[in-house]
Structure 1
Amino acid sequence: MNFKRYGRPAVIAVAAALALSSCAANEGGTTAPTKEAGPALSGTLNAAGASSQGAAQEAWIAAFQTSNPDLTINYDPSGSGAGRGTFIAGGSDFAGSDSFLKDEELAGTFGSCAPGTKAVDLPVYISPIAVIFNIEGVKNLSLDADTLAKIFKGEITVWNDPAIAALNSGTTLPATPITAVHRSDDSGTTKNFTDYLFQVAPTVWDQKPADPFPYKTGEGAQGTSGVVDAVTNGVGTIGYADASRAGKLGVAKIKVGSKFVGYTAEAAAAVVNDSPLVTGRGANDLAIALDRKTTDPTHYPLVLVSYAIVCTEYADAAQGELVKGYVGYMASAAGQAEAASAAGAAPLSKELQTKVADVIAAIK
């Protein structure tokens, strides 16, 4: 990964996971280590945030619980914005977020952190964002960035529009109205999706990327599951969601360079590895400025990096030890393998794993 810095671009219900037996957890392919060279952890760890991490969190919790049976971990997939808000207010020990901390958030205080200290963004989950669709009679769909932007902006309203037809020669597209489904809550997935459109289709998408969806068009749905349900149960629907949740829905190919490409974990990881860090942040902050404009068809630029937002020093040192243990596992080779198996995530590169591990080791 390129670690140079440049200017900044614009409760899971864990009962089922916690109830998994040691045998079931081991069948996932990895076994969570206890805290390295130390006793098993005990206590309660609370976190909230990105719903994109949902499947990975279930797997991480189940595996980590196996080696630390006296530790209770709660993760509420309330969305990236809500998760950051909860953490900032001191209501959780760390946040999951598909958006790194904003400058104005970094300028404030963090309720769980020791006075005078700040939080940092640590990448723990890399995943493609799938453009999911449900169009009767259509199994394959190709879209370039301009056309995708016009669909979600409400400028293209029927599936047999000439702009869509021109990209899908040989496919019979119905005259069905388009229902474009977006997140109704503050969502890091939305920020990543709109960042892609803002960078690659700037003449169409004129709103800067942000957690709230910027236009009063289409249909809003709460959380990743809400978008998937709305696309699944609708007619002529299209939406965006973490690729792990695409299921049996159609998934559009996007144009990269001169080719239309589908998502893969490897193609998503390639974009992250070639992207620099954001400038103007603390030395231990690993927020990534994703390069969406790549023309390399081995890359899939519609990707999200989801972060664990943690304190560099905790007001309660005991909670800091729990965070070090669990988040350290999430970002480890074993944790990344678990997320790849359970959610199709792209593992962090070894270089990035090392960077994250060094920051976690310094948490107090």
Structure 2
Amino acid sequence: MQKPTFLKSALAVGLVSMVALSGTASAADIKLNGSGASFPFPIYSKWFKDFSKANKGIRVDYQSKGSGAGIQDLINHTVDFAASDAAMNDEEMAKVEEGVVLLPMTAGEVVIIYNLDGVEELKLPRDVYPAIFSGEITQWNDPKIAAANPGVDLPDETITVVTRSDSSGTSFVFTGHLSNISADFKAAVGQGKAPNWPSAANFVAAPKNDGVTAQVQQNKGAIGYVEYGYAKLTKWKQVALLENKSGNFVAAGPESGAAALASAEFPEGTLPNSDVPNLIAWVWDPAGADAYPIATFTWMLFYKDQDDDKAAALRKLVGYGVEEGQKIADSMGYIPLPENVREKVLKAAEHIQ
């Protein structure tokens, strides 16, 4: 079987390195080019920069372009690895004849940000925020929002709803949660990397976390969803408290995120038609009094059958992320992987050959 190689330079395919590296590109013996999810981009950028500095013969470049685009790049063999918050489905995996290895490398939360003058705290019940993102609730002073926020001066204004315009793992996770807690949302919008958002005038689309944040910032009365680490990195102040399955209004953070993922159970078997352990697990509506309701792992995607030198470099990169990389997860707004998950990842990474 012919092994995949990344033969074109970053400039030849229009990629711009998202990682500042010491030295020059020509000094690197091995170049690892990746693309995909914007959800973990802040922490991946730090990892790849530090890893490349510590391993002078290896250069890692990563382009944040969305989970769907990353998966497609892996299928098209235009990268050495990819990243996706939506993992890969069976159909996508079947398109990669070399086989795939999917490794959860970090975890995080999806938060709802808003832009309302004078509203420092906003509580959104679990029957309200799905209705906002399905277009059912359209006014900020809707009785259901007002009832959850007594004493808060909510304006009589239309809610501008900002969604992702690109094929996004963040959208997949967000709509997966909403579809699990609201039959009406599931019927109207559904779950997907590119969901069927309403075509209403109060809905606006923008690419990636930074695009959604920019639209919310520019429009008073706007609301949108982004990754918690990105909101923390940009110091966004107006982040909604969401009602969890236990009926408590919870803020995103390391403790509530870890509580959400505590109930995650990985399958016992392997990926379809493969001997690679299946490390795809979801927690769509976590139980627990302290659990934040929208939390997920996010995956790096690799070819199982690799160029030998690149396979060794990629295994080394995984080891760095699982060991050294987890130490900065909390400070960057991500959830450190539990020890038992780290052990599973290191064992599964041995299949990158």
Normalising by structure 1, we get a TM-score of 0.84
Cα drift, residue 323 of structure 1: 1.1
Cα drift, residue 283 of structure 1: 4.7
Matching of residue 349 in structure 1 with residue 338 in structure 2: yes
Matching of residue 98 in structure 1 with residue 98 in structure 2: no
Query: Residue in 1 aligned with 2:21?
Result: 18
Preserved CA contact (<8 Å) 2:35 2:63: yes
Q: Which 10-residue stretch deviates more, 96-105 or 240-249?
A: 240-249
Matching of residue 56 in structure 1 with residue 46 in structure 2: no
Cα drift, residue 79 of structure 1: 0.4
User: In the aligned structure 2, how far is the partner of 1:227 from the partner of 1:310?
Assistant: 29
Going from structure 1 to structure 2, the CA distance change for 1:160 and 1:329 (only over 3 Å counts) comes to same
Preserved CA contact (<8 Å) 1:146 1:204: no
Gaps of 5+ in 1: 1-10, 21-40
Query: Residue in 1 aligned with 2:315?
Result: 324
Q: Deviations over 1:306-336 (max 9, x none)?
A: 100112221x222211211112211x22111
Query: Residue in 2 aligned with 1:297?
Result: 289
Cα drift, residue 73 of structure 1: 1.0
CA-atom RMSD, angstroms? 1.9
Cα drift, residue 70 of structure 1: 2.8
Cα drift, residue 339 of structure 1: 3.2
Gaps of 5+ in 2: 1-14
Matching of residue 270 in structure 1 with residue 270 in structure 2: no
Query: Residue in 2 aligned with 1:70?
Result: 57
Q: Deviations over 1:69-116 (max 9, x none)?
A: 232211000100000100111111111100011111122225xx3xxx
Going from structure 1 to structure 2, the CA distance change for 1:200 and 1:71 (only over 3 Å counts) comes to same
Matching of residue 154 in structure 1 with residue 115 in structure 2: no
Secondary structure of the residue aligned to 2:298 is strand
Aligned residue among 324, 327, 333 for 1:337: 327
Aligned residue among 194, 198, 202 for 2:179: 198
Query: Residue in 1 aligned with 2:191?
Result: 209
Q: Deviations over 1:96-155 (max 9, x none)?
A: 100011111122225xx3xxxx10211001011111111112111111222111111111
Cα drift, residue 338 of structure 1: 2.8
Query: Residue in 2 aligned with 1:33?
Result: none
Q: Percent identity?
A: 31
Going from structure 1 to structure 2, the CA distance change for 1:86 and 1:204 (only over 3 Å counts) comes to closer
Query: Residue in 2 aligned with 1:254?
Result: 242
Matching of residue 87 in structure 1 with residue 74 in structure 2: yes
User: In the aligned structure 1, how far is the partner of 2:253 from the partner of 2:191?
Assistant: 24
Structural mapping, 1:299-318, within 5 Å: 299-314=291-306, 316-318=307-309
Aligned residue among 212, 236, 257 for 2:221: 236
Secondary structure of the residue aligned to 1:88 is helix
User: In the aligned structure 2, how far is the partner of 1:208 from the partner of 1:179?
Assistant: 20
Matching of residue 170 in structure 1 with residue 155 in structure 2: no
Paired AA for residue 179 in structure 1: T
Going from structure 1 to structure 2, the CA distance change for 1:12 and 1:190 (only over 3 Å counts) comes to farther
Preserved CA contact (<8 Å) 2:263 2:286: no
Secondary structure of the residue aligned to 2:131 is helix
User: In the aligned structure 2, how far is the partner of 1:56 from the partner of 1:87?
Assistant: 21
Secondary structure of the residue aligned to 1:85 is helix
Q: Deviations over 1:232-262 (max 9, x none)?
A: 1111011111101212240001111121011
User: In the aligned structure 2, how far is the partner of 1:204 from the partner of 1:216?
Assistant: 11
Preserved CA contact (<8 Å) 2:283 2:296: no
User: In the aligned structure 1, how far is the partner of 2:262 from the partner of 2:16?
Assistant: 30
Cα drift, residue 68 of structure 1: 1.0
User: In the aligned structure 2, how far is the partner of 1:174 from the partner of 1:272?
Assistant: 36
Paired AA for residue 45 in structure 1: L
Cα drift, residue 19 of structure 1: 4.5
Cα drift, residue 295 of structure 1: 3.6
Secondary structure of the residue aligned to 1:211 is coil
Preserved CA contact (<8 Å) 2:330 2:336: yes
Preserved CA contact (<8 Å) 1:158 1:176: yes
Secondary structure of the residue aligned to 2:186 is coil
Normalising by structure 2, we get a TM-score of 0.86
Q: Deviations over 1:324-357 (max 9, x none)?
A: 1112211x2211113333x221110100000000
User: In the aligned structure 2, how far is the partner of 1:236 from the partner of 1:304?
Assistant: 28
User: In the aligned structure 2, how far is the partner of 1:274 from the partner of 1:284?
Assistant: 23
